[in-house]
Amino acid sequence: MAVIRPATPADADMIATVHIAAWRAAYRGLMPDSYLAGLSVDTVSARWRQRLEGGGGEGRFEEGGASAALLLGEDATGRVVGIGAAGSARGLDEPAMGEIWLLNLEPGAWGTGVGADLLAAATGLLEAQGYGAAVLWVLEANARARRFYEKWGWEPDGVTRVDQSFGFPLAELRYRRSLAP
């Protein structure tokens, strides 16, 4: 089992490094090269530091009126290789619905089990907070992530969207899973 712990503002550089490495590896060909090349550790790190400083501890942060907690997964040497966030479902008027906001591993940690441990910790957090079910959004073309979520009991619920928030279109599917009472 990987060590999973809540993020602190002091982790911001590592969070950004993992985030960017994961995106560059997983989204090549799915997002414009120029966008991926332009991602900056300093910019992403500053955003995470600010969010976590405003969250009140235990990895909590807010975005757009919704709140979540950011968890970190470490490899056997104690290095942070994965990040995962879970909280209330964004954009849904369903108080009992949680959401996995993000899950990213640097490519060296793919296939090592850290992702499964992070996903289990994130869903466990939602269960502990009383959510009855959860959703997550995944790129339609992200075959590896879809296979991973399906392995852990998540299923597409038929809802789709085209996310334009990055300035280019991203076709996404919503996945859903019931949580333990």
Ligand X SMILES: CC(C)(COP(=O)(O)OP(=O)(O)OC[C@H]1O[C@@H](n2cnc3c(N)ncnc32)[C@H](O)[C@@H]1OP(=O)(O)O)[C@@H](O)C(=O)NCCC(=O)NCCS
- Residues near ligand X (CB under 6 A): 22, 26, 103-105, 110-111, 115-116, 138, 142-145, 147-148, 151
Q: How far is the CB of 164 from ligand X (least distance, A)?
A: 17
For the chain, the straight-line distance linking the first and the last C-alpha, in angstroms and rounded, comes to 24
29-67 burial code (b ≥16 CB/10 A, e <16): eebeeeebeeeebeebbebbbebbeebeeebbbeeeeee
Residue among 12 and 22 whose Cβ is closer to ligand X:
22
Q: Give whichever of 53 and 79 is closer to ligand X, judged by the CB atom.
A: 79
Cβ-proximal residue to ligand X, closest one: 115
Smaller CB separation from ligand X, 96 or 143: 143
Between 101 and 131, CB nearer to ligand X: 101
For CA atoms 144, 156, 80, 50, give the dihedral sign.
Answer: positive
CB of 50 to ligand X, least distance (A): 23
Beta carbon of residue 110, minimum distance to ligand X (angstroms, whole number): 3
CB of 99 closer than 8 Å to CB of 87: yes
